[in-house]
Structure 1
């Protein structure tokens, strides 16, 4: 499926009007690089003037698109930061107010405030996830357009130029680090949930029992909880890999595309929290590049960016045989199995010493602590090893000696590979005595073969991030259910990073290729669920229904957090606007004859025609006169002007004149005003070619004059007097008319009556047009109208018999 057809769905539907004009730019590239219709194709490897002009035009278009998207991304990131700051201020006020209450009873309204506050923070987290998805889509669109240009022209100059001048700018949205927002979101959400749980416990008068006092707590859960409480990352990693699975234990593995890492972390934080701190490299976006994923996806995660390291030793053939003997279900669910299948494994990070775990045949593990700089020496049989210098505490010396003896007693065990990654750790927020969830997220994974006690050969990169979830206890839904329904991950049952690293580094024919190998060669990104159109029942969901404390809630949260990933989006994104379901109108780009003089601009319905550039172009202005009058008002004004004073010469200056008709003496005066702010400037919208001159019509408004309106218009007394005079003449004509001219007299009387009534109605109509009329004037006008109507009616009745 073409990327342009799914761009709107891959991006945020409610933000579709901020997307890059992918189809238009792609059509423009194809049109300019296709032979026919008078166009020529440049020969690759030779300088072509037309190709250079086209490249300059395309560079200006892509740079303008980048600046437009960058402005939106920066403003949205600032909006999310301000929302989180406001939530923290509200939480601080709420915590102070709750602490000042002496009574332990907590009103329901205050608990509802916790729910509303947590709901606001969850919406901010969804905004972070949407922003990461939006930026990832735009960066992929830029990469594909550059790839199309390079494919159809055979030139890579545009890609290098755009990356150097625009995309590699530290302030570009392609370099945006959402890590600070993730930290604020995680800490704020955790504070709200902790404070809520504390207030609920104070109100009920109960306290949290110690973890070790539960007689029915399984051994696996208790060991996992002890590792969490230890505050050590090394012990956390070692416990997940070496503690055997319990009766209801599960070990799930997921592949994550690097573009979806930030979105996945937001999803994980809705069900868990960071353990101690996150990895700083897990929020850095990948660069825009047309290189293969194996080369580009991990350029930001170099060796110096890794913060988690491991070294494994075992017999490669024995390890492969033992691993292949297990079924997929045994690897994930069989009680007693451990994720670590190697004989020896040393784990360390930047802040702590290494912990070496030795796995025995009965499933038990022996642990020993050793300094990081002595890890490789521990596994090197060719040199002597001094245990006292390698340990920090004297108590750890015996454990190191035991591991060294086991290594020397089995010559088939030797170091196999070194592992490095950037690791973030997560702890389920509902962990307790009967259930526990731990997870690790590794990005920038590299494996390197170990030979002669040191790393040798090149580093092999893993194309995806790996999420490992360790779950103990019975769960209904929870994190695993949300991950299985999400489009952000690809679940790989039975995956083993140990087996993959050994197969990749040794390339032995006795080690079969892993079954997940075909997945590594394809794009695992899935299309997000389609946008919910207007009129759907989900649009009626209100914030109160999500943040109510009357519904089903977890023990450490005020709102429900068991929703799937497909519906956990902000309310403003649930129902996108109607324009989000319409395709953009195709825009035509001008031919690149004069790229140095043309500034590509794109038309928008929000643009003002007078905000254009000054480099030429026709500006068409539609002027609507706010003082326009109706036909009836114009008729009255003309009739009134017949009896009023004539306009002076100064009143006739409010005409539509050409801009060049301004008098020379006015323009050359020392006190001449500045140019009119509304003067139209030339602008190109991409579909209209700029001309050499601008023809516009300017409206010069007449000077405002302050005058008082009379209490009665001039037409009213004139019409009333005419009406009464004509009515009197009709009476005189009817009384003195001759009998021999009866028909002529009757016609004249009827015409006089009609004329009298007409003038009376016109005079009263002029009176109605006034905004303010005094009561005496109203009374006089109504009286004259009644007298004229009664007199005309009486005369007509007397004349007819």
Structure 2
């Protein structure tokens, strides 16, 4: 969809006359004449276009500023009303035999419903304002890009200065998010919000979570927060303090050995016991408390869960601790004297500090990558059964000194940056701005218990894109060190695709008493504009977010089966690909073959002929097998007859890794996988022995061996030997693939079929010969008697 059409389809009635007039600005860029647009564009036309652009910018900025002020005033009014209701609720007298003593002024259910409706209306206004800002910002970026391309006059830098004077897209709604969350939580719980410890980590030591991760496009961040807030409040770490922008900032520095990258590869391959060591702090860089953390991966078959353990220490002691000049005993000496923490907890922290210090010194771990993001957490206080966090403005920054640049120097972290996103002072090679937000859904459910229905609907919607096992450390290291990292994570090819999806039917924000707020999630590609440049522009612009709720609407699926019915996401995910044998990822093996062939051609002679023959034979056999499979594959039944979802075609896309690199596809390896490969080999071996025994029985059956018995015994012997050789080869290949965690095909489609065909042919010829010799089939052909 072109942007002009998207703009018309995204118009919100309240802002109908305040949007950018994209068509009018585009009309001003029309240039007549065959000589070329750059030669026909004049100073007069440029001035006319800039004046029109300034007029449009002022109109959008004025409307946004006016609406933002109105929303703030409405939030303050709602706060006073909610506080009044709560005060009346708390002032009720004690409950006696005849009911409350002073219950005449108690708030009614209707009052709570009216408050909830008002808050829902405010939240819908925040959502609409965010969408208004988003589409206008995109429109200005596109029209400037079109201007520079058509006219040859570069306006983008000058327009950036104009945007700073009218920053309609820079308003941060995080403070309003916290206020709306508190008010809605009070109203939703009818004046009895859940209370408990809301700390984000100060009192937490070792903890275990089951986490699923998703990418969220910037266009969907606001709507996603609104939907989550319908069920979970924003987790406020310090409710007694006025919210500041730095309160949501989280920074982590990851350590590794830049010569071996052992921590990177261990976390990427998910090997048993793989570790990640990081230093984390909350807020600005002036904070004194640093958390030293170690994440340890455990395979499921071990019966253990992956664990994150950490302890806190003062920032002034970090260099001495990491260099080994300060021992863990000295760090916890003061804590032991004060006795604020249990002695057992201090002992555990001290042991962890010793282990991390030993690993850093022994393996030569140094800071390599920093991650920064602003986190909005949704959780009931003191209730960790469902916790959802959304990380926005994710940025990775280099911390190393590998290329001769003293970024961190001898310090444990670089000091030239803080939380000043988007870190425009850094050179491009030092920073990676991630284009999406990261949604983490953390669940703690009992065995056999399903996640809440609203969570299942949310993760199946168009707002999120599932990326299992996504890691900020892995992604940052892979993108910031392209010359040193050759093994890439499996989600790297996904970065080049647009993750936006068609809008899920009957799912979204609804204004109380009115229709749902419609937004557009379609592609905003405009004529021949490049999506890559658009994504870069979006990723470097501040994201506008808001949080709220408007009721308890839920999406109903038609014809939902009872019990454990699959949701839409699971049904589509379970569909077979059009070609199930097609691999998703290519490594650099094809490039290696081409390079080897080119080297052989330069050598010439039989070396080149043999290489070329092997390569052509391999390609011909591959095409032959593919064509045979295509002929044998049955024609599919039209999907609409069997299942309405079957009309959704799920196709596979073949990705090519950059030259010299490989994409690592995670493979689940458990002890039972090794046992299964060994058990399969033993089964083949057993059948081969049976077939060999049949050969011995045939040749020794009867008083005098005949030619037929020799031939039958020979046939069975050949089959037994072939089965043995094949089984050994398959077992060696599978064992090697399992040890190296390769995404190989472990099922055998050809071996059993080939074995049974040969065995049936041997038996059939044996029966035919014997039947002919005994006269049951008449005269036996002479060639068969001779054979």
TM-score (norm 2): 0.51
SS at match of 2:227: helix
Contact 1:378 1:404 in 2 (8 A): no
Q: Which position in structure 2 is the counterpart of 1:183? A: 178
What is the alpha-carbon distance in structure 2 between the residues aligned to residue 13 and residue 540 of structure 1?
A: 13
Q: Which position in structure 2 is the counterpart of 1:142? A: 140
Q: Which position in structure 2 is the counterpart of 1:20? A: 20
Q: 1:349 and 2:282 equivalent?
A: yes
Q: CA deviation at 1:146?
A: 0.2
Closer/same/farther in 2, CA of residues 563 and 370 from structure 1, 3 Å limit: same
SS at match of 1:186: helix
| Paired residues for 1:667-686 under 5 Å | none
Closer/same/farther in 2, CA of residues 369 and 513 from structure 1, 3 Å limit: same
Closer/same/farther in 2, CA of residues 461 and 278 from structure 1, 3 Å limit: farther
Q: 1:313 and 2:255 equivalent?
A: yes
Deviation per residue, 1:308-346 (Å, 9 max, x gap): 22233356654455445559xxxxxxxxx99xx634333
Q: 1:154 aligns with which of 152, 155, 170?
A: 152
Q: Which position in structure 2 is the counterpart of 1:272? A: 232
Q: Which position in structure 2 is the counterpart of 1:622? A: none
Closer/same/farther in 2, CA of residues 243 and 423 from structure 1, 3 Å limit: same
Q: 2:391 aligns with which of 441, 450, 455?
A: 441
> Which sections of structure 1, spanning at least 5 residues, go unmatched?
199-207, 209-227, 285-303, 328-336, 533-537, 546-556, 567-801
SS at match of 1:503: helix
Deviation per residue, 1:663-722 (Å, 9 max, x gap): xxxxxxxxxxxxxxxxxxxxxxxxxxxxxxxxxxxxxxxxxxxxxxxxxxxxxxxxxxxx
Q: 1:167 and 2:139 equivalent?
A: no
SS at match of 2:251: strand
What is the alpha-carbon distance in structure 2 between the residues aligned to residue 76 and residue 530 of structure 1?
A: 29
Deviation per residue, 1:396-429 (Å, 9 max, x gap): 5983465245532672361353423233242334
Q: 1:422 aligns with which of 341, 350, 373?
A: 373
Closer/same/farther in 2, CA of residues 5 and 77 from structure 1, 3 Å limit: same
What is the alpha-carbon distance in structure 2 between the residues aligned to residue 539 and residue 510 of structure 1?
A: 47
SS at match of 2:375: strand
Q: Which position in structure 2 is the counterpart of 1:499? A: 474
Closer/same/farther in 2, CA of residues 559 and 121 from structure 1, 3 Å limit: closer
Q: 1:57 and 2:53 equivalent?
A: no
Bigger-Rg structure (1/2): 1
What is the alpha-carbon distance in structure 2 between the residues aligned to residue 136 and residue 278 of structure 1?
A: 31
Q: Which position in structure 1 is the counterpart of 2:711? A: none
Q: Which position in structure 1 is the counterpart of 2:554? A: 563
Closer/same/farther in 2, CA of residues 141 and 411 from structure 1, 3 Å limit: same
Closer/same/farther in 2, CA of residues 28 and 81 from structure 1, 3 Å limit: same
Q: CA deviation at 1:265?
A: 3.1
Contact 1:8 1:16 in 2 (8 A): no
Q: CA deviation at 1:152?
A: 0.7
Closer/same/farther in 2, CA of residues 137 and 544 from structure 1, 3 Å limit: closer
Closer/same/farther in 2, CA of residues 425 and 324 from structure 1, 3 Å limit: same
SS at match of 1:369: strand
What is the alpha-carbon distance in structure 1 between the residues aligned to residue 247 and residue 514 of structure 2?
A: 41
Q: CA deviation at 1:182?
A: 2.3
Contact 1:278 1:425 in 2 (8 A): no
Q: Which position in structure 2 is the counterpart of 1:786? A: none
| Paired residues for 1:395-414 under 5 Å | 399-400=349-350, 402-408=352-358, 411-412=362-363, 414=365
Q: CA deviation at 1:376?
A: 4.5
Deviation per residue, 1:430-472 (Å, 9 max, x gap): 9758x33242424242232445664578233323222222122
What is the alpha-carbon distance in structure 2 between the residues aligned to residue 20 and residue 431 of structure 1?
A: 46
Closer/same/farther in 2, CA of residues 523 and 146 from structure 1, 3 Å limit: farther
| Paired residues for 1:333-412 under 5 Å | 342-350=275-283, 351=287, 353-359=289-295, 363=306, 366-380=309-323, 388=330, 393-394=335-336, 399-400=349-350, 402-408=352-358, 411-412=362-363
Closer/same/farther in 2, CA of residues 7 and 528 from structure 1, 3 Å limit: farther
Calculate the aligned-residue CA RMSD, in Å: 4.5
TM-score (norm 1): 0.51
> Which sections of structure 2, spanning at least 5 residues, go unmatched?
299-303, 402-409, 415-428, 517-547, 558-787
How many positions carry a matched residue from both structures?
A: 470
Contact 1:83 1:124 in 2 (8 A): yes
Q: CA deviation at 1:55?
A: 1.0
Closer/same/farther in 2, CA of residues 468 and 449 from structure 1, 3 Å limit: same
Contact 2:248 2:376 in 1 (8 A): no
Q: 1:69 aligns with which of 52, 60, 66?
A: 60
| Paired residues for 1:203-214 under 5 Å | none
Q: CA deviation at 1:283?
A: 11
What is the alpha-carbon distance in structure 2 between the residues aligned to residue 109 and residue 386 of structure 1?
A: 57
Q: CA deviation at 1:264?
A: 3.5
Closer/same/farther in 2, CA of residues 80 and 504 from structure 1, 3 Å limit: same
Contact 2:248 2:375 in 1 (8 A): no
Q: 1:35 aligns with which of 29, 33, 36?
A: 33
Q: CA deviation at 1:367?
A: 3.1
Contact 1:345 1:358 in 2 (8 A): yes
What is the alpha-carbon distance in structure 1 between the residues aligned to residue 314 and residue 510 of structure 2?
A: 58
Closer/same/farther in 2, CA of residues 519 and 366 from structure 1, 3 Å limit: closer
What is the alpha-carbon distance in structure 2 between the residues aligned to residue 447 and residue 149 of structure 1?
A: 33
Deviation per residue, 1:611-648 (Å, 9 max, x gap): xxxxxxxxxxxxxxxxxxxxxxxxxxxxxxxxxxxxxx
Q: Which position in structure 2 is the counterpart of 1:244? A: 208
What is the alpha-carbon distance in structure 1 between the residues aligned to residue 481 and residue 334 of structure 2?
A: 34
Contact 2:251 2:372 in 1 (8 A): yes
Closer/same/farther in 2, CA of residues 565 and 431 from structure 1, 3 Å limit: farther
What is the alpha-carbon distance in structure 1 between the residues aligned to residue 87 and residue 202 of structure 2?
A: 36
